[in-house]
Amino acid sequence: MSGNVQLLNDTLAGAKSEGRAALIAYLPAGFPTVTGGIEAVKAALDGGADVVEVGLPHSDPVLDGPVIQTADDIALRGGVRIADVMRTVREAHQATGKPILVMTYWNPIDRYGVERFTAELAEAGGAGCILPDLPVQESALWREHADKHGLATVFVVAPSSKDARLAEITAAGSGFVYAASLMGVTGTRESVGAQAEDLVRRTRATTDTPVCVGLGVSNAAQAAEVARFADGVIVGSAFVKRMLDAPDDAAGLEGVRALAADLAKGVRGRA
């Protein structure tokens, strides 16, 4: 069975044709429970997200800040497994018809088996993977299997990336380029800053693939700011924080839905 890279491409192209950036939400699988995490993904999509990244919880994340680490710890203590990540992708995609990616560090895939992981992700209806710590020069095996199964390979670029390195990364990736707007870990910031705009400009000089900005966006005004120059706005910690701060699961889901609706206005310039 083929994955949904084309659905991802069509979704991003559709947002562009509407004269706006896409809204991409991030939520970890298994948080607060596996079933609760699936409902959270569906709430983000129902609220207005175009795409969702489902995080595969990791005990030692290198990109994720304290908010997402807290959610990952809850998921891991709950016993979340790769099978639960695949279930999250499958049920969220079936319920919404929207593209779902997995964001994961390389070690869990390496241990699980690249062929097994890509085959199962495609079978679940996944659109691809974001791989923040897989070096492009070591990615040939992954990309071979991802291509075979119709999955996007999304690499991360940072303000520190030199132009030659950007060209190498964008030539190998597909779906979109994840532009980390700030050095450091994920989390909400007061300002997303000029670094992001410069990074998008330099990345676009190397590729026609959409460039989506993450790390720091937490409200509609910031989403609108980033949407002026990026093809997509990626929001993670702010969604997770809504759930962590909620008095109960139902309130958490409503918080996710409301934030997605607010951010959706932002990417449309209506904040």
- What is residue 62's predicted lDDT score, i.e. its pLDDT? 59
- What is residue 59's predicted lDDT score, i.e. its pLDDT? 76
User: Pairing relation of β-strands 152-154 and 232-235?
Assistant: unpaired
Judged against a pLDDT cut of 50, whether residue 88 lies above it is answered with: yes
Judged against a pLDDT cut of 50, whether residue 12 lies above it is answered with: yes
String of DSSP letters for 135-183? -GGG-HHHHHHHHHTT-EEE-EE-TT--HHHHHHHHHH--S-EEEE-SS
pLDDT category at 183 given cuts 50, 70, 90 is very low
Q: Examine the residue annotation and report whether 64 is marked as an active-site residue of this protein.
A: yes
- What is residue 122's predicted lDDT score, i.e. its pLDDT? 98
Judged against a pLDDT cut of 60, whether residue 191 lies above it is answered with: no
**Strands annotated E in 6-61:** 22-28, 51-55
Judged against a pLDDT cut of 90, whether residue 148 lies above it is answered with: yes
The neighbouring-strand residues paired with 26 are 53
pLDDT one-digit tens code per residue, 100-130: 999 999 999 999 999 999 999 999 999 999 9
Enumerate residues 6+ apart whose C-beta is below 8 A from 12: 22, 50, 51, 175, 176, 210, 231, 232
pLDDT category at 230 given cuts 50, 70, 90 is very high
Active-site choice (10, 39, 50, 64):
64
pLDDT one-digit tens code per residue, 245-262: 999 999 999 999 999 999
pLDDT category at 192 given cuts 50, 70, 90 is low
Residue with tokens 């990540």: 85
- What is residue 217's predicted lDDT score, i.e. its pLDDT? 87
pLDDT one-digit tens code per residue, 32-79: 999 999 999 999 999 999 999 999 998 765 566 788 888 888 898 999
Judged against a pLDDT cut of 70, whether residue 187 lies above it is answered with: no
Question: Which tokens sit at 163?
Answer: 């132009």
Q: Examine the residue annotation and report whether 123 is marked as an active-site residue of this protein.
A: no
- What is residue 70's predicted lDDT score, i.e. its pLDDT? 87
Enumerate residues 6+ apart whose C-beta is below 8 A from 147: none
Question: Which tokens sit at 192?
Answer: 């997303």
Active-site choice (39, 53, 72, 231):
53
Judged against a pLDDT cut of 90, whether residue 14 lies above it is answered with: yes
List C-alpha distances in Å: 229 to 2, 16, 35, 62, 211.
32, 12, 36, 27, 9
Judged against a pLDDT cut of 70, whether residue 86 lies above it is answered with: yes
pLDDT one-digit tens code per residue, 159-179: 989 999 999 999 999 999 999
